[in-house]
Amino acid sequence: MLTSTHEPLARWTTLRLGGPATRFLQAESRAELYDAVAVADANAEPVLVMGGGSNLVVADAGFPGTVIRAASQGLSMDAVSDTSATVTVEAGEDWDRLVTRAAAEGWMGIEALAGIPGTVGAVPIQNVGAYGQEVSDTILRVHTFDRVRQVPCTLAAHECGFGYRSSVFKRSPGRYVVGAVTFRLQGGSVGAPVRYGELARRLGLAPGEATLARDVRTAVLELRRSKGMVLAEADHDTWSAGSFFTNPFVEPAQLPAGAPSYPQPDGRMKTVAGWLIEHAGLPKGYGTSRVRLSSKHPLALTNRGGATTVELLALATEVRERVEGAFGIRLEPEPTLVNCSL
C-alpha cells in the first residue's frame, strides 16, 4: 500500500485542483481498502475514499484526514454464455477499459457509456448515464464495506436505490465503500435500440433502431471528444469534472419556452442544464483566463491552468445565480464537493 503525507490532491483529480490530504493511502486490493477504512474509523479520522478523481471538487485547503484511493484491479467471469455474461470487477479498474473490453467480448449494455472517466467503483454511486444508457441497467450487485456496521456487505441492485444520477451510496455519503461491482451484460453483437436523438443521427439511424455495439461505442467517443469530455492532457477543455450540474426536473408550468423537455412518469419534465446556461447569457468559453466554461460544452467548468477551487466555485455560483434569475430554476451540482460548498 502506497502511503504519503500532505499529498496534493490536485495530482489525483481531473480538475487538477485540490490542496493536500493529511494522509494519503493507495489500496491495491479490496482487502486493503476495507482494512484501511476500518483502521481510520477506529481512530476517528475523517476519511475520503476516491477513485479516478473525475467527480471531485476539492477545497484549496485540501482534506483534513485520510484519503484512500481505491486502486484494486481485476475482473472475474462468474458466468458467461452466448446470451449473457456476469462479471465482477474490482473498484479500481478503469471504467472505460471495462467498456472497451465488453465491446470486444460481445458483452452488451454499457457501450454508450464509453469515454466516461473514472473507476468502476465510482459508477454506481452516481449511477452514471449517457446517451440513453444508465449503469444501473446492468448492475446485479455492489460489494461494499458498511462503515456503520463495520462489516463487508453486498447489496443487490434493488437495494441500491438507483435514480437519476443518484443511489443509496450518494444519498448516504460516507456509509458505504464500494469494493467491487457485479454486472450482468447481454451477449451478442447488436446493442440496445438507440433512442438518444443525437447519437442516432451520428450513426445514421432512426431513433429506436439498433446497430452494432462497437459502432455505438465509436460514435459515443466521437461525440464526447467533440464536447471535450474525453480526458486529454493538452486540452484544457477536459480539465473538468465533466458535467458540473445535473439536468433539472421541473413542473410543466416552469419549463422555459423553447427549452428541451422530456416527460417523466411523475408528470414533471426533465430539461437540459446546458441549454439553460447558454440561454441565461453564458456562452461556451465564458469566464476568466483561469476558469471558464468549456469552449466545447457549456456544462463543463474548466481549469485553464493555475486556477484555484475558490475561483471555480465562484464561476459555478455565478452560473447557478444567472440561471435561477433568468428561469427560476436552481441547478444542483453533480460532482462531490470536498471540504467546500456552493
Catalytic residue list: 165, 243, 334
Residue 128, H or E segment: none
Coil, strand or helix at 197: helix
Residue 40, H or E segment: helix 30-42
**262-263 vs 291-293, strand pairing mode:** unpaired
**20-27 vs 63-70, strand pairing mode:** parallel
Chain centroid offset of residue 42 CA: 30
Which residue's entry shows cell 455492489?
A: 142
Radius of gyration for the chain, computed over Cα atoms and rounded to the nearest angstrom: 20
Chain centroid offset of residue 329 CA: 23
**262-263 vs 269-270, strand pairing mode:** antiparallel
- Helices 213-226, 95-105: inter-axial angle, 10-degree rounding: 150
Q: Torsion-angle region of residue 204: left (phi > 0), alpha (psi -120 to 50) or beta?
A: left
